[in-house]
Amino acid sequence: MNSKTPVIQLKNVSKTFGEVRSLSEVNIEIYPGEIVGLLGDNGAGKSTLVKTIMGFHQPDEGGEIWFKGEKINEWNVAKARELGIETIYQERALCEQQPIWRNMFMGREIKNKFGRLNVKQMKSEATRLMSEHMGFTSTAVHPDNAVLTMSGGEKQGVAITRALYFDAELVILDEPTVGLSLSETKKTLDFIQNIKKSGRSAIFIDHNIFHIYPAVDRMIVLDRGKVAGNYKKSDITMDELIESMYRVARTGSIKE
Amino acid sequence: MNSKTPVIQLKNVSKTFGEVRSLSEVNIEIYPGEIVGLLGDNGAGKSTLVKTIMGFHQPDEGGEIWFKGEKINEWNVAKARELGIETIYQERALCEQQPIWRNMFMGREIKNKFGRLNVKQMKSEATRLMSEHMGFTSTAVHPDNAVLTMSGGEKQGVAITRALYFDAELVILDEPTVGLSLSETKKTLDFIQNIKKSGRSAIFIDHNIFHIYPAVDRMIVLDRGKVAGNYKKSDITMDELIESMYRVARTGSIKE
Amino acid sequence: MSENKDSKVKNNAARPPSFWRRFGMQFGIWSVGIFMWLIFVFTASEAFTSKDIYLAFASSTPLFALMAIPLTLIVITGEIDLSFPAVMALATATFAKIYSGTGNIWVGFIAALIVGTLCGYFNGWLVTWFGIPSLVITIGTSFLFRGIELAWMNGSGVGLTDDKLLGVANLLVGRSFFGIANQFWWTILATLILWFILNRTQFGAHVFLTGDNKTSAQLMGVNVSRVKRRSFAIMGFFAAFAGLVASFEVSYFWPTLGEGLLMNSIASVFLGGTSVFGGIGTVTGTFVGSFIIGAINAGIVASGINAFFTQVFFGLVIILSVIMQAVISKRIKR
Amino acid sequence: MSENKDSKVKNNAARPPSFWRRFGMQFGIWSVGIFMWLIFVFTASEAFTSKDIYLAFASSTPLFALMAIPLTLIVITGEIDLSFPAVMALATATFAKIYSGTGNIWVGFIAALIVGTLCGYFNGWLVTWFGIPSLVITIGTSFLFRGIELAWMNGSGVGLTDDKLLGVANLLVGRSFFGIANQFWWTILATLILWFILNRTQFGAHVFLTGDNKTSAQLMGVNVSRVKRRSFAIMGFFAAFAGLVASFEVSYFWPTLGEGLLMNSIASVFLGGTSVFGGIGTVTGTFVGSFIIGAINAGIVASGINAFFTQVFFGLVIILSVIMQAVISKRIKR
Amino acid sequence: TTANAAATSQWCKGVKIAAFPGGPQGGVFANNVYNGYVQAAKDLGPTMKYYFSDWDSAKLVTQMKEAVATKPNGMAIYGFGGPEATGPIVDDAFKKGIIVTSLNSELTALQSKYAARGFGYVGAELYKAGNDLAKKVISNASLKSGDSVFVWGLKGAAGDRAQRTVGVIDGFEKAGLKVVYQEIDQATNTTPASGGPTYAGLMAKNSSVKAVVTDHGGLTATAATYMKAANQKPGDVYFAGFDLSPAAVTAIESGYLNLIIDQQPFLQGYLPILQICLTKKFGFSGLSVNTSGGFVDKTNVAIAKPLAIKEIR
Ligand SMILES: Nc1ncnc2c1ncn2[C@@H]1O[C@H](COP(=O)(O)OP(=O)(O)OP(=O)(O)O)[C@@H](O)[C@H]1O
Ligand SMILES: Nc1ncnc2c1ncn2[C@@H]1O[C@H](COP(=O)(O)OP(=O)(O)OP(=O)(O)O)[C@@H](O)[C@H]1O
Ligand SMILES: [Mg+2]
Ligand SMILES: [Mg+2]
């Protein structure tokens, strides 16, 4: 495991929407086997950063994205996923009128070499995943059911399970535990530990420092589009971190 | 303050969607000045319960809703809001292409006695509320801005602020702190305390027992559509509660 | 901490959206309009520098503008109406029948407006009661209304040249100031009224909310079904009025009245910047859009393009206008 | 704990949606179809108990069914196409011109299909590149394509009775088994092919995702623009094919070809249960919907309802069918 | 309509006829043909079924097939489906014993094949009617070679319908006139008042135009509106067109419209029904009747007026 080359590296990435500059000159790298926590107030630009990494947003002129040491020019979501980046988006990214199995394999459908979809396999895989990875308490989890009829937490379950299925090099979780019950939250946090154990990387976004701190190796704090701090866990205690988060919120600066 | 008559009372309320029975024979009452926590796993029926109280869903035959001691027959959202029930929905209930001010006064627009809308007042009120109640870190909070361009947490802020504006007798908060930062979460919890102080009531739904327990007077646990437990805070410690929640999740029953 | 919050608000939060961002949509359609006008002034200067052509626009564009304007409301609620040409005809038939039966103009006039409103309300009821998309159901009601009208009139038209009708004819389609047709003023009035309804009444606010996100609106207590029914009723009312205007304009009621106006009205609404997906739109945009649509054909033929090439250019102008409108609005928004 | 989870899954989670819930949509349209057929069998028994009328349907319904079926894909992606009648004409004009120029049937045939596909692709490109709603832009391209065709043909038609054309005419519109017109078999084939594309290819899966929630689909790496462009291209291809079929059926190419088919095709798609809002739809539903639409007109006239009342009844039948379809689907879903 | 059903013995009772008025329900021209059918049905007593084809040849052909499938005794069809498409259907119909006769546009080959079995024709020759009108306009307005005329027509229309426009254009061009041609657009076609700006724009560009011919009953009747839109007074151009209608009568009276040629569509409906009845009952062969009637202008408009209002003429 060569931890010298980052799995993903952003150089000077900015992103502007109209008059709003959501990211400004962000430099970030994630190394193999590393779990990085991303913290920041509402509107700090965390989700924008995630979507830029995924190629959903194109960075402004001058920003560069490097994957495993290679500069990538035509970056898009399909390519990112193919290279092994999976994301659980904050907005879940589900197609709610579609059955669970279609959502599970959205964008990466199983097909045979002639391009014919293997619907049967997708359904059975979906059933397996849903019952193995997420234990549902309601009756609405047959793979043919539309996502529409599921509860908020169940939907989140689909989005999480989907990201697990494809053994990704880098998993990005944008507030994944939102709306999950205690036991499901625990499962998700366990899952993050498994990523690390298997030598893969993750970016973990959450508002709950109690969730983030125990799970990660390193924390990056975003404030109004800028990287305001970057701590190894060994360098900062949870209390110091909370203290410094409040400070950022108050003064906009990490330093006293 | 007559705490004998509940602000709202559900008698035998069930709700069935197709083959899914989301609520079955729920009996609940909320007294004035009381903060009630509603707990339960994903899909337990918490949001369905809230929407039934609001009159968005009609309960199945046989269920009754009583407001301040009177049985209410033609229950609908507009009526519920008029009588003084405000809800922060889990799905936020925003119209994203519309400007903030329209969202703020959605369904309860300010108008003069001839029915002419007072757009100016709505805008200035919206500005005041947004800056007083929620401190935004981005630039996208002019009342004329579309909600669309705001971050997840900012949107939630709009939904919360809206519920605060109308001095409601009963405020229902369905996972309100989801996606909020530490400091915003604290504000929301403070707000719940203020409701209690002013003698009004609240129903507070959250997955985070650490949020719920300190804030409430009483806790109701839902499990697969049924009321599985109903505790005064004085009767149960937080640890016992967590223990019993796990038990419900495992066995479907609150009792050992 | 609170003073800090305030200063933050001052620094970051009080910035209003830019002028372009706020008026982008209107700006888009106005610039398309002016741009097209300039082109025609150059390519068809004989026509476009004399006032005659503008008087002609003022008299013919209202025939569909009067319906495009209320149609904007329906489109903002996320629905569409394809039946209004038939409503136009059915309401005018009501006028013709009642007038020839009773000899009373005003009873006929009011009855026509009522029939139009009811037809619209019926559409709205079908849409909201059964939850059927309006695009589908109004194809059906269009046949129904047209069929009733044809069966009632037995397919024949009626002349409206009776001397007793002169008064109402003058009111609706007479010429006033500088020879401008009255229907132009009616269109202006309709624009103003519907602007007020849309932007300064609770009903109007709910029109936007309904089209933007029906479920959210319902969760907040908006009666979206009622909003839709009323929007359709308003449409029916104006269709009836437009039917009378169009018939008095040619002093004859053709039983096929309105058939060719559907596309023009719809195109005006969309060209005017109203979103097909609902939630966004302006009546002033539609007003400008109508006059653009109304001018294209005349502009092209006056530029010396004749015969079948007119259609090629008509298509090109629509495509380019829509593209310009889309590009300008998008540029402005970011 | 895990054994508990499993048992829970067994108790609550493995229940599939009921039969009604899964096939509700198809069931709705089939029952509407059968119900209507029964009515016609009783009210117009002479016509509807002899095989002639069914042979007539088999030859005339494909003229629009062949376009309604691919239109289903476009509607599922959340778009619409109003220009396909013009594409039909332009593609057939290409065939006529190339055939009369070179005398080579197959070159003309292939060229027509290519032109149709390109027209469709052009629509898709406009829609996705500029982000313009297809309802608006295809009104424009409809004029453009029709205008080009009319200008090219100078407004005149061409006979297709040449002996050399007999082969292709037989292939497209000849009569086979029991006198059933070949275009019926072509329609069946088109239904099968598009069913496969929609339900058994990645492109088809993406058609559903695109129409359901564009942003979600994009976030998961679906190239929604490409999906839309391809759907429009498929539409164009079939429009061209339908243009040839319709022209050979009457052995003449009229420059107005296709004008009356727009509403029929659109109504078939929606009657077939495809959602106007995208994300939901079936080609088999559209197939049945086409035959219902095709039968209504003939059925009403054959029932002895005369003249102007036919439109009233046509409207009523459409309204009632759509309502039935909506009610049945809703009932089944809950 | 005027006839009194009791006055005639309905000797054609029990005969089933499928009749094609051609255009849309309530449309100009089509409605006059329809009125002719209705009158004939009242007088003679056959059972009628009507198929309205919206001037759409594909639709006409489809409907003819469906009509044959219902096995009537007779069919009165338009010719605008074209001989290629109509031929096989007529063959099939006669095979099944259905008497077919045609109206409005001729199907010469079929007529000669089946005349003995009742296939007749009632109508005006469209090309000739157009040509005649052009000639009459030239003489009435004393136009000379090199003068400009504006023809607003439907050259792209389906079937035989276009032939009248072509006839007008040929008539003018043969006399050396310069023709400015414009195709009637969709909105104007169905709501003639929409065409004002188009007319005004065209007149502004081609100010030397001396005469206008509109090949469309609706537009012809709207002459006054167009001329006012272009700021023209009665007589500024010589305005001529087709088809008598109440509105056209008014336009002639007001002086804006100068000349109309009428092909008496009522007869084109009445006579084919009579033809079918005669053939069915008495075996008469097909008759060929030319209805291209006369010109109507200020001098004779008073006679036509009452009939026009009832849509008989
Ligand atoms: N409109 C609906 N149609 C069909 N089923 C529904 C509908 N709304 C909710 N359900 C079902 O009802 C059950 C309860 O859902 P609900 O949203 O009330 O759960 P919840 O307790 O709020 O869960 P969460 O914590 O995940 O938000 C779920 O199984 C869901 O599938
Ligand atoms: N598509 C967009 N168009 C315009 N502005 C946008 C867009 N997406 C995000 N923004 C703006 O960018 C800023 C950052 O948003 P982002 O969603 O990245 O924040 P976040 O850190 O994820 O916040 P939260 O914790 O609330 O989810 C916000 O101010 C938002 O208004
Ligand atoms: Mg975010
Ligand atoms: Mg919930």
Please check the confidence at residue B147 and state whether its pLDDT lies above 50: yes
A65: buried, middle or exposed (CB in 10 Å: 19+, 13-18, 0-12)? buried
In order of B71, C32, C325, the CA distances from C36 in angstroms are 63, 6, 12
Give the whole-angstrom CA distance, residue D166 versus residue D174.
9
Q: pLDDT category, D31, cuts 50, 70, 90?
A: confident
In order of B99, C113, C227, C269, the CA distances from C71 in angstroms are 23, 16, 14, 7
How much is the average pLDDT of D220-238?
Answer: 96
Task: Compare all CA atoms of chain A with the CA of B89 and give the residue at the minimum distance.
Answer: A152
Q: Judge whether B204 and B212 are in contact, CB under 8 Å.
A: yes
The two three-digit tokens of residue A78, written as one number = 């399909």
pLDDT single digits (tens) D163-199: 888 888 888 888 888 888 899 999 999 999 999 999 9
Domain that holds residue B229: 8-65+94-249
Q: pLDDT category, C17, cuts 50, 70, 90?
A: low
Query: Which residues have C-beta within 8 Å of that of residue B253, sequence separation ≥ 6?
Result: B228, B247
Separation of CA D332 and ligand 4 centre (Å): 25
pLDDT of amino acid D12: 36
A221 in a structural domain: yes
What share of chain D in percent tops pLDDT 70? 90
Interface touch D21/B19, C-beta < 8 Å = yes
Number of H helices and E strands in chain A, helices first, is 8, 10
A74 in a structural domain: no
Instruction: Name the residue with higher pLDDT: C109 or B251.
Output: C109
pLDDT of amino acid C16: 55
Query: Which residues have C-beta within 8 Å of that of residue A50, sequence separation ≥ 6?
Result: A87, A89, A90, A172, A174, A203, A205
Of C270, C312, C314, the CB nearest to D136: C270
Give the whole-angstrom CA distance, residue C251 versus residue C262.
21
Please check the confidence at residue C3 and state whether its pLDDT lies above 80: no
Please check the confidence at residue D305 and state whether its pLDDT lies above 70: yes
What share of chain D in percent tops pLDDT 90? 47
Which residue, D222, D291, D288, D287, is CA-closest to D78? D222
Give the whole-angstrom CA distance, residue D319 versus residue D313.
10
**Strand boundaries in chain A, DSSP class E:** 8-17, 20-30, 35-40, 64-67, 70-72, 85-88, 170-174, 201-205, 218-223, 226-232
The residue with tokens 């993050």 is: A192
Q: Do chain A and chain E touch with ≥3 beta carbon pairs under 8 Å? A: no
pLDDT single digits (tens) D101-158: 888 999 999 999 999 999 999 999 999 999 888 988 999 999 999 999 999 988 888 8
Q: Is B152 in the pocket of ligand 2 (CB under 6 A)?
A: yes
Residues E39, E44, E46, E51, Cα dihedral to 10°: -30
Interface touch A181/B42, C-beta < 8 Å = yes
How many inter-chain contacts (B to D, CB under 8 Å) are there? Answer: 14
- Alpha carbon nearest to ligand 1 atom 16, residue: B45
Which residue, B167, B212, B158, is CA-closest to B194? B167
Q: Which residues of C touch B135 (CB under 8 A)?
A: 5, 8-9
Q: Which residues of D touch B251 (CB under 8 A)?
A: 4
The answer to whether E34 faces chain C, any CB pair under 8 Å, is yes
Neighbours of chain B (3+ CB pairs under 8 A): A, C, D
Query: Which residues have C-beta within 8 Å of that of residue B221, sequence separation ≥ 6?
Result: B39, B40, B227, B228, B229, B230, B231, B244, B245, B248, B254
The answer to whether C76 faces chain B, any CB pair under 8 Å, is no
pLDDT of amino acid C188: 96
pLDDT of amino acid D19: 61
Instruction: Name the residue with higher pLDDT: B187 or B111.
Output: B111
Highest mean pLDDT among C44-58, D67-81, E74-88: D67-81
The residue with tokens 């895989």 is: A125
Q: Judge whether C295 and C37 are in contact, CB under 8 Å.
A: yes
Mutate to test the pocket of ligand 2, among A23, A24, A46, A52 (most ligand atoms within 8 A of CB): A46
pLDDT < 50 positions in chain E: 1-7
CATH number (domain holding residue B116)? 3.40.50.300
Separation of CA B90 and ligand 4 centre (Å): 6
ipTM above 0.85, yes or no: no
pLDDT of amino acid C13: 36
pLDDT single digits (tens) B192-246: 888 888 888 999 998 778 788 888 999 998 888 889 888 898 888 888 887 877 7
Mutate to test the pocket of ligand 2, among A15, A47, A220 (most ligand atoms within 8 A of CB): A47
Task: Compare all CA atoms of chain D with the CA of E25 and give the residue at the minimum distance.
Answer: D308
Q: Which residues of C touch A251 (CB under 8 A)?
A: 4
Mutate to test the pocket of ligand 1, among A134, A138, A151 (most ligand atoms within 8 A of CB): A151
Q: Where are the alpha helices (DSSP H) in chain D?
A: 2-8, 19-43, 45-48, 51-60, 62-76, 84-102, 105-130, 134-153, 166-173, 182-200, 202-212, 214-219, 224-249, 262-271, 283-302, 309-333
To the nearest whole angstrom, how far is the Cα of C221 from the nearest Cα of chain E? 42
Q: Is B153 in the pocket of ligand 2 (CB under 6 A)?
A: yes
Q: Which residues of C touch D269 (CB under 8 A)?
A: none
Q: Judge whether A205 and A38 are in contact, CB under 8 Å.
A: yes
B84 in a structural domain: no
Task: Compare all CA atoms of chain B with the CA of C13 and give the residue at the minimum distance.
Answer: B139
Number of domains in chain B: 1
Instruction: Give the lowest-confidence range in B113-122, C9-18, C177-186, E187-196.
Output: C9-18
Q: Which residues of C touch D150 (CB under 8 A)?
A: 308, 311
Task: Look at the alpha carbons of B153, B156, B161, B162 in this order and tell me if their dihedral is positive or negative.
Answer: positive
Separation of CA A213 and ligand 3 centre (Å): 18
Give the whole-angstrom CA distance, residue D34 versus residue E196.
49
Q: Judge whether D261 and D85 are in contact, CB under 8 Å.
A: yes
Provide the β-strand partners of residue A87: A172
The answer to whether E56 faces chain D, any CB pair under 8 Å, is yes
Q: pLDDT category, D310, cuts 50, 70, 90?
A: confident
The answer to whether B115 faces chain C, any CB pair under 8 Å, is yes
pLDDT single digits (tens) C163-206: 888 888 888 988 888 888 899 999 999 999 999 999 999 999 99
Mutate to test the pocket of ligand 2, among A13, A20, A39, A178 (most ligand atoms within 8 A of CB): A20
B254 in a structural domain: no
To the nearest whole angstrom, how far is the Cα of C263 from the nearest Cα of chain A? 32
pLDDT single digits (tens) C84-93: 999 999 999 9
pLDDT of amino acid C191: 97
pLDDT single digits (tens) D182-192: 999 999 999 99
Structural domains of chain D in order of their starting residue, each with its CATH number: 25-37+46-333 (1.10.3470)
B196 in a structural domain: yes
Separation of CA B42 and ligand 4 centre (Å): 7
Please check the confidence at residue B256 and state whether its pLDDT lies above 70: no
Instruction: Name the residue with higher pLDDT: D45 or A28.
Output: A28
Q: DSSP secondary-structure letter at E161?
A: G
Highest mean pLDDT among B143-147, C312-316, D219-223: D219-223
Give the whole-angstrom CA distance, residue C310 versus residue E197.
14
pLDDT of amino acid B3: 54
- Give DSSP secondary structure letters for E268-293: HHHHHHHHHHHHHHH-----EEE---
pLDDT of amino acid A251: 63
Tell me if residue A222 falls in helix, strand or coil. strand
Please check the confidence at residue D30 and state whether its pLDDT lies above 50: yes
pLDDT of amino acid E225: 86
Q: Judge whether B248 and B242 are in contact, CB under 8 Å.
A: no
In order of D110, D168, E20, the CA distances from D178 in angstroms are 30, 20, 29
In a structure prediction context, what are the per-residue pLDDT tens digits for chain A, which is 256 residues long? 445 789 999 999 999 887 678 898 999 999 998 999 998 877 788 999 999 999 999 999 889 999 998 998 888 999 999 989 999 998 889 998 899 999 999 988 999 888 899 999 998 888 888 877 665 544 446 788 888 877 777 888 888 888 878 888 899 999 888 777 777 788 788 888 888 888 889 999 987 787 888 889 999 988 888 898 888 988 888 888 877 777 766 665 555 4
pLDDT of amino acid D9: 32
Q: Where are the alpha helices (DSSP H) in B76-181?
A: 77-83, 100-104, 119-133, 152-165
A181 in a structural domain: yes
B255 in a structural domain: no
Query: Which residues have C-beta within 8 Å of that of residue C22, sequence separation ≥ 6?
Result: B144, C16
**Ligand with minimal distance to B39 CA:** 1
Interface touch A95/D217, C-beta < 8 Å = yes
Q: Judge whether C239 and C84 are in contact, CB under 8 Å.
A: yes
pLDDT single digits (tens) B23-57: 989 999 999 989 999 988 777 899 999 999 999 99
Q: Judge whether A113 and A84 are in contact, CB under 8 Å.
A: no
Q: Is B193 in the pocket of ligand 2 (CB under 6 A)?
A: no
Please check the confidence at residue C78 and state whether its pLDDT lies above 80: yes
Q: Is A210 in the pocket of ligand 2 (CB under 6 A)?
A: no
Interface touch C252/E247, C-beta < 8 Å = yes
Give the whole-angstrom CA distance, residue D218 versus residue D225.
9
Please check the confidence at residue C7 and state whether its pLDDT lies above 50: no
* Portion 197-236 of D in contact with B at CB < 8 A: none
Of A78, A94, A131, the CB nearest to D221: A78
Task: Compare all CA atoms of chain A with the CA of C3 and give the residue at the minimum distance.
Answer: A250
Q: Is A46 in the pocket of ligand 2 (CB under 6 A)?
A: yes
Separation of CA B4 and ligand 4 centre (Å): 29
Separation of CA B103 and ligand 3 centre (Å): 20
Give the whole-angstrom CA distance, residue C100 versus residue D83.
43
Q: Which of C80, C144, C156 to mutate to test the interface with D (most CBs of D within 10 A)?
A: C144
B72 in a structural domain: no
Interface touch D148/C312, C-beta < 8 Å = yes
